[in-house]
Amino acid sequence: MAETTVATKSVKFIITRQDTPDSKPYTEEFEIPYRANMNVISGLMEIQRNPKKSDGGSTAPVCWDSNCLEEVCGACSMVINGKPRQACSALVDKLEQPIRLEPMSTFPVVRDLVINRERMFGALKRVKAWIPIDGTYDLGPGPRMAETKRQWAYELSKCMTCGVCLEACPNVNDRNSFIGPAAISQVRLFNAHPTGDMNKEERLDALMTDGGIEGCGNSQNCVRACPKGIPLTTSIAAINKDTTKHLFKKWLGM
């Protein structure tokens, strides 16, 4: 008896679709059979296997982006029931139905739920979010990092450039050049590293230009939206302190 009840159960999706980067978005409804422990990705896979709308009409399969399926790659970010998050860790049992899926439209939409997060990688290049150790000879081991520092720096290193913090930020939009919380937190991470610290001014300088850290308006949505629980607002405030100090040091010629 129990099995027949499960078999008749279904999951409803309302998906915002867009055929090309410039075309108008529209919504389509899907109803798929329920299976135990489904997540949004497995729901999308089901639609891909049988691309039929709930009214019976056939349609092109819905496009989405995903990779690791364990919330570490950041590829499957989308707006699920109004909140930006990862589709792989969005369990159907825990979601209100109908499940509404939209692309994170702060980013350019490529097709359906697929977005282009290139601006985030551009931001990492802009702030030099790496540690330069390449050279013509072996530089030997660098200075050691204190364990107490490593513990909080590790939290910052969990950033997967998923873009959820940018989607949640009211200051990341077409009228504003704000770099977004993720890159600022990465500056804190690489400046915390004993070898990275040797080039910290370069990273601070990058944040003290147009569209840098000053774009933060302290709405603090980022820290609440971050799927990895990264203390983004603490990172922003800490880098505010560092850029302020750097500003005065530059003025005083220190």
18/221 with CB nearer another protein: 221
Least separation in angstroms between residue 115's CB and another protein is 17
The beta strand positions in 50-138, using DSSP E, are 77-80, 83-86, 99-102, 109-111, 114-115
Q: Which two structure tokens, joined as six digits, stand for 207? A: 């944040």
Compute the distance between CA of residue 46 and CA of residue 61 in angstroms, rounded to an integer: 10
32/77 with CB nearer another protein: 77
186/221 with CB nearer another protein: 221
23/173 with CB nearer another protein: 173
Report yes or no: 103 and 109 within 8 Å, Cβ to Cβ: yes
52/83 with CB nearer another protein: 83
Least separation in angstroms between residue 40's CB and another protein is 18
Least separation in angstroms between residue 254's CB and another protein is 17
Compute the distance between CA of residue 216 and CA of residue 208 in angstroms, rounded to an integer: 12
Least separation in angstroms between residue 211's CB and another protein is 7
**Cβ atoms within 10 A of the Cβ of 246, count?**
19
What's the DSSP call for residue 115? E
Report yes or no: 230 and 185 within 8 Å, Cβ to Cβ: yes
The beta strand positions in 116-238, using DSSP E, are none
**Residue 253, helix vs strand vs coil:** coil
Compute the distance between CA of residue 196 and CA of residue 235 in angstroms, rounded to an integer: 16
Least separation in angstroms between residue 24's CB and another protein is 21
Q: Report the interface residues with another protein, using CB under 8 A.
A: 82-83, 168, 170-171, 173, 175-177, 207-221, 224-225, 231, 233-234, 236-245, 247
Least separation in angstroms between residue 107's CB and another protein is 14
Q: Which two structure tokens, joined as six digits, stand for 60? A: 């092109």
92/225 with CB nearer another protein: 225
